[in-house]
Homo-oligomer: A and B are copies of this chain.
Amino acid sequence: MHANPSGDLLSRLLAALQVLPGVGPRSAQRMALHLLQHERQGGKLLADTLQQAIDRVGHCKTCRNLTTEQQCGVCSNPERDNTLICAVESPADVMALEQAGVFSGCYFVLLGRLSPLDGIGPDDLGFEMLVKRLSDGQVRELIIATNTSVEGEATAHYLYELARPYPVKVSRLAQGVPLGGELEYVDRSTLALSFNNRAPV
């Protein structure tokens, strides 16, 4: 079989591209050939930037969001209200909320949701970090903004139980977010509306 005229390296590139979500053999081939034929400069930049990002992006020590620093841009910003904490499942949710531009508090990123079937329990979601923040008396309100999936609801319930012992108001995004949807794909106005209509639990 002489199917691959540039030998191993091109095959390895095709395989490597398939770690990208939604990219199969066909798209990988299209991407590889596009980069090699028409976008060498862009491909070089992509390789460099990806390398750097993987080396340098870690998690914020306060909110667990992705950051290149010890503390992320939101947590280290004195203009953000750190008495308000919004708990979300993923960095993508933080981006979506920031793009909606309705929230001036801080976040707590769970980096997942309770999902016993996938072996994800309370220990994986950084709850002890959150409890520490709740117990130091500075937090006024915990806004639960997990997804409205089954696991998200379970996680929300767990967060509510977790916060109950502390003198912290607990609220949830208003039901305006469509059920069964992923937060990161909700349109801005719906997101803003549900943020403003958040109801006490």
Contact = CB atoms under 8 A, between A and B. Distances in A.
Contact of A5 (B2, B56, B72): B72
Contacts of A10: 53, 57, 66, 68
Interface stretch (A94-102, A139-147, A156-164): A94-102
At the interface, is chain A mostly helix, strand, loop or mixed?
helix
Contact of A46 (B19, B60, B111): B19
B2 A66 contact: no
B3 A95 contact: yes
Contacts of A2: 73-74, 77, 80, 98
Given A19-B46, A36-B54, A50-B35, A6 B92 contact: no
Interface residues of A, number: 64
A193 interface: no
B21 A30 contact: yes
A6 B65 CA distance: 8
A132 interface: no
A42 to B, nearest CB: 3
Contacts of A37: 66, 90-91, 111
29 contacts: A2-B73, A4-B98, A5-B60, A5-B65, A5-B95, A6-B57, A7-B67, A7-B73, A9-B49, A12-B53, A13-B49, A13-B50, A17-B46, A19-B45, A20-B34, A21-B34, A22-B27, A29-B92, A29-B95, A30-B92, A36-B57, A37-B91, A37-B111, A40-B54, A43-B54, A44-B54, A47-B47, A47-B50, A50-B50
